[in-house]
Amino acid sequence: MPEGRGHYACPITSLTLLVSLTRVTLDILQELDPPQPAHWRHQLLLLYKKGVYLSHGKMLFWVLGLLILCGFLWTRKGKLKIADITDKYIFITGCDSGFGNLAARTFDKKGFHVIAACLTESGSTALKAETSERLRTVLLDVTDPENVKRTAQWVKNQVGEKGLWGLINNAGVPGVLAPTDWLTLEDYREPIEVNLFGLISVTLNMLPLVKKAQGRVINVSSVGGRLAIVGGGYTPSKYAVEGFNDSLRRDMKAFGVHVSCIEPGLFKTNLADPVQATEKKLAIWKQLSPDIKQQYGEGYIEKSLDKLKGNKSYANTDLSPVVECMDHALTSVFPKTHYAAGKDAKIFWIPLSHMPAVLQDFLLLKQKAELANPKAV
């Protein structure tokens, strides 16, 4: 054997023997267990997929069950009510008519100690005649700061150490509802003074009493606080109410005070009297410049009224949905932050407020009368 080969002879021989033994073993195993047809992989894949589908089906079943349970618990949660309302005081503004008047009568029947603020003596007298001796009225102009302060002190003497469980800011006025270029700054002032500054003034003066009772503040806004449906000061005032409501809600959480906002749709109340609205429009029309009259046309107001006639069927005549929202906000253990009141608010106005601006403009502009000559100078 040549020099140098003897050192590797044994390992090479061993390796050759190992390869031979491996081949023999494989041949024996093949005889004992012949290879399966090629489609066995496909069958395994089908079994795997079936298992996955079964697993997904079970998962979807449990998710569906969980959603149903959550829905049940959420509904049940909303129905939990506070106890002993007969020892609780609530203060409501704007009780001469409309939502405030119905709310005062409803909550008086339920057993609350209702303090109803009316703007007029006649409104106060009529409300007293329809309610129990437990209900008390007070004359209040929410735009008069001194009147608001005196009223707050009087309410404090009435409620004593119990504090004020509920404050319902309901007072409001529509102001002039007309195209923006018809109006002056003074036309915007009244609805903003009443609907916004009046609401804030009452809230700030009553808030210590509400904090004492760890009670509720309920601000009546409007779908006009979500969508600019008409021109004038009403919509800006309600947009601002929404902002004040949200900041107040967050500030009051630490004190255990719940703050809710009610957004009614279109309701037939004295606030939305079409006769008064038309008279205000006509009075402004007479004072407009000839250029603006030429742009809109002499028959514009009549055409606007004709457009509105088609929408009268959508106006809610039953005021109770708004009061039901107030009731839930006052008596639920878990009151909502926002309430949409009225079918039109729930089905149309509130959903539309979340839509793109181009869709909002298209639908709302369809409700407006066509101008005679908008390019006239």
Round to whole Å and give the CA distance between 301 and 178: 10
**Is residue 164 a contact partner of residue 113, using CB atoms and an 8 Å limit?**
no
Question: Which H/E stretch holds residue 351?
Answer: helix 350-353
Tokens 């298992």 belong to which residue?
51
Catalytic one of 89, 188, 234, 300? 234
Residues in Cβ contact with 201 at an 8 Å cutoff, skipping those fewer than 6 apart: 142, 143, 145, 148
Tokens 């309701």 belong to which residue?
267
What are the C-alpha distances in Å from 10 to residues 5, 7, 19, 32? 10, 7, 15, 33
**Is residue 377 a contact partner of residue 291, using CB atoms and an 8 Å limit?**
yes
Round to whole Å and give the CA distance between 278 and 226: 24
Residues in Cβ contact with 257 at an 8 Å cutoff, skipping those fewer than 6 apart: 210, 211, 214, 215, 216, 217
E-strand stretches of 208-332: 216-220, 258-264
Asked if 188 is an active-site residue, the reply is no
Active site amino acids: 234
